[in-house]
Amino acid sequence: MSRKTETRHGGAVDDGVQLSRRKFLEFASASPLLAPQIASTIAGLSVLGTSEALAQSYDVLRAAPVMNGDLIANPSQALNVFDFEPVAKNALPPAHYGYLASGVDADKTLQANRDGFDKIAIRTRRLIDVRKIDTSVKIFGETWGSPIALAPVSSVGAFNSEAEAAAARACKAKGHQMILSTVGSTSIEDCIKERGAPIWYMLYPTDDWAVTQLLVARAEMAGAPAIVLTVDRQGGRNTETLFRDRRGDTRTCTDCHTPGFANEVSRKPMFDNIDVSKVTNLYGTGMTWDYVKRLRSIVKGKLVLKGIVTHEDAKTALDYGVDAIIVSNHGGRAEESLQSTIGVLPEIVTAVNGKIPVLIDGGFRRGTDVLKALALGATAVCIGRPYIWGLAAFGQPGVEMVLTLMQREFETIMRQVGATKLAEINGASVTRV
C-alpha cells in the first residue's frame, strides 16, 4: 500500500502522485516549448497542492504592500474605492465629512441606492474571445473613453485645496468626463483648462432669471457642451447625519459660513462679478415645466435634466425638448423616498424609448454596478462620493486610483459577461434576484 502525504490544506495525496508531479514539473521547467509564464503557473500547483492555484497564481502579489494599521497609506494600496472613505474621514473636519456622508432623515434612501444593486444578478457567458474590449461611448457627438463620469459635487474645496482642478486633471489622465457644480470651488474655465477638453456644467438656477442667464452664458462661452439643470432640490431636506457630525466639530463655522446668499457664494467663482442681491435661494424653488421651456430657449447647446425618477416626468421632459436625463436622487440626499435610482431606471428608459441618452448616479461603487446600469438601459454612469473620498485622502492621485479601480472592475465584468463593447451589454446580461 502506498504511503500518504498530508498537504497544507489538510488533504492527502499518494507519494507516487507527488513524485510524478515533481518529475513533470522538472520536465516542464526545462522544456523550451513551455513559456516561462506557463511553467510558473503550473509550479503554483505544487505550492498550493490544489487546482485553485491555476486561477489564483497570477494575482497572489496584488495585496503585497505592507500596511501600518487599518488605513491605506497611499492610493496604490487600495483594493476598492471603499478603502478611501476611512482615510477621507480621518483627514476631514467632522462637519465636512458629515456633509459628504449625509443623506436625509434616517439615510434610508442613501442606503437604498446601494441595496438596489443587490437585487440585480449578472448573467455570465463563456467561450467568447474578450481579449480586446472597447469601453467607449458617444454622447452628443463626443466620444468618452469610459461610461464612468464624475458627478457634480458642491464645495469641493472643503475636501481638498486643489478642489475640482485636481479632479479635472485626473479625468484628463484617465480619460473620463466630468460635470462641474454651480457652487463648485473652481471656475469652469479652469476646469476645462486642467482637463484639456470641455466639461458639462450643472446649473443651480437661483430664483433670479438675470443670474441664471449669466451663469448659462458664461458656461457656454467657456465651451460647456451641456447645461445640466438640477431639479431635485426644490422641497428642502433634513440632513441629520450632517447635523449630528457637526456637533463634534470644535471649529467656529461662522469663520467661513456667514448668513445671506451673497456670503454663501462669495467663495464660489462661478458667481464672480454677478449681482446676487435679488437672489433668495440657490435652487429656484419655484421652478415648473414652464421654467424648463424658458431655459430651453436660451441654452444654445444641450439641455439635460438631473433628478428625474419617474416615467411621467421623463415623458414630459421629451415634450419640452430636453436632450438627456440624469436619473438621480442627489445621492440619496434629495428626499427620503426609499427609491433607489437603479430601481427606477427601467421605467425611465422605457419612457424615453431610445430618443435621448439616459445617465444615472446614486450609490455607484463597483464596476459591476456600472454594468448593471448599462444592462438596464443607461448610457453612462456618474460617481460622486467615491472620487471625493479619493480626493480628500490623496488629492489627484486618489481620484485617479478611484477611476482606475472602477474602470478595472468594469472591464473585468464586461469580459465575464462576454461583452467586447458597450452595445453588447443589454437586458440579457442581468436578471432580477
The answer on pLDDT for 53 being more than 70 is no
Residue with cell 452595445: 423
Q: Roughly how many angstroms between the first and final C-alpha of the chain, as a whole number? A: 51
Is residue 119 domain-shared with residue 146, that is, in the same domain? yes
Q: Is 69 within a domain?
A: no
Q: Can you read off the three cell numbers belonging to residue 368?
A: 459591476
pTM score of the predicted model:
0.85
Instruction: Look at residue 264 in the predicted model and tell me its pLDDT.
Output: 82
Residue 10 structural domain: 4-59
Q: Is 257 exposed, middle or buried (0-12, 13-18, 19+ CB in 10 A)?
A: exposed
- Tell whether 150 is covered by a domain: yes
> What's the pLDDT at 246?
82
Q: Is 114 annotated as a binding residue?
A: no
Q: Per residue in 97-126, pLDDT tens?
A: 999 999 999 999 999 999 999 999 999 999
Q: Is residue 146 domain-shared with residue 38, that is, in the same domain?
A: no
Q: Are residues 123 and 215 in the same domain?
A: yes
Specify whether 83 is located in the same domain as 54.
Answer: no
User: Per the structure block, which three cell numbers stand in for 386?
Assistant: 467615491
Closest by CA position to 313, among listed 220, 389, 232, 391: 232
> Is there a contact between 106 and 336 (Cβ–Cβ < 8 Å)?
yes
Query: Count of CB atoms within 10 A of residue 401's CB?
Result: 25
387 marked as binding residue: no
Residue 80 lies in a domain: yes
Reported confidence tier of residue 69, pLDDT bands at 50, 70, 90 = confident
Q: What's the pLDDT tens digit per position in 267-286?
A: 899 999 999 999 999 998 88
Residues 40 and 92 in one domain: no
Residue 333 annotated as part of some ligand binding site: yes
pLDDT tops 70 at residue 310: yes
Question: Does 249 show up as a binding residue in the annotation?
Answer: no
Please identify which residue in the block is written with the cell numbers 467663495.
267
The catalytic residue positions are 330
Query: What is the pLDDT, as a whole number, of residue 216?
Result: 98
In a domain, 67, yes or no: no
How is residue 402 annotated by DSSP?
Answer: H
Which tens digit of pLDDT belongs to each residue from 227-279? 999 999 887 888 888 888 888 888 887 777 778 888 888 889 999 999 999 99
Same domain (yes/no): 87, 29: no
* Domain assignment present for 68: no
For residues 112 and 18, state if they share a domain. no
Q: Is residue 406 part of a domain?
A: yes
Residue 321, C-beta contacts closer than 8 angstroms, at least 6 positions apart: 293, 296, 303
Distance CA 331, CA 111 (A): 10
Q: Is the pLDDT of residue 54 over 50?
A: no
What's the CA gap between 389 and 295, in Å, rounded?
Answer: 34
Query: CATH no. for residue 287?
Result: 3.20.20.70
Do 100 and 231 share a domain, yes or no?
A: yes
106 with 162, same domain: the answer is yes
Average pLDDT over all residues of the chain: 88
* Chain segment 365-376, per-residue pLDDT in tens: 999 999 999 999
65 in any annotated domain: no
In the prediction, which pLDDT does 243 show? Answer: 84
**Domain boundary pick from 12, 29, 59:** 59
| Residue 430 β-bridge partners | 122
46 is in an annotated binding site: no
Task: For residues 173 and 170, give the distance between their C-alpha atoms in angstroms, rounded to a whole number.
Answer: 5
Supply 154's cell numbers.
Answer: 458642491
pLDDT reported for residue 43: 39
Same-domain status, 30 and 91? no
Mean pLDDT across the stretch 175-204?
97
Question: What count of other Cβ atoms lies within 10 Å of the Cβ of residue 315?
Answer: 14
408 is in an annotated binding site: no
Say yes or no: 201 and 267 in one domain: yes
* Chain length of the chain: 433
> 228 Cβ partners below 8 Å, 6+ apart?
152, 179, 200, 201, 202, 203, 304, 305, 306, 326
Residue bearing cell 419640452: 320
The predicted pLDDT at position 336 comes to 93
Cβ neighbors of 105 (< 8 A, separation 6 or more) are 238, 240, 336
- Give the pLDDT mean for 376-393: 98
Consult the annotation and say whether 107 binds a ligand: no
Element (H, E) at 201: strand 200-203
**C-alpha span between 83 and 78 (Å, rounded):** 6
Measured CA angle at 387 (ends 383, 388), to 5 deg: 115
- What's the number of domains the chain is made of? 2
Based on the fold, state whether residues 161 and 215 are members of the same structural domain. yes
Cα 179 to chain centroid distance, Å, stands at 12
230 known member of a binding site: yes
Which grid cell is 90? 480621518
The residues facing 302 across adjacent strands are: 226
Report whether 204 belongs to an annotated binding site: yes
DSSP 34-56: S-HHHHHHHHHHHHHTSTHHHHH
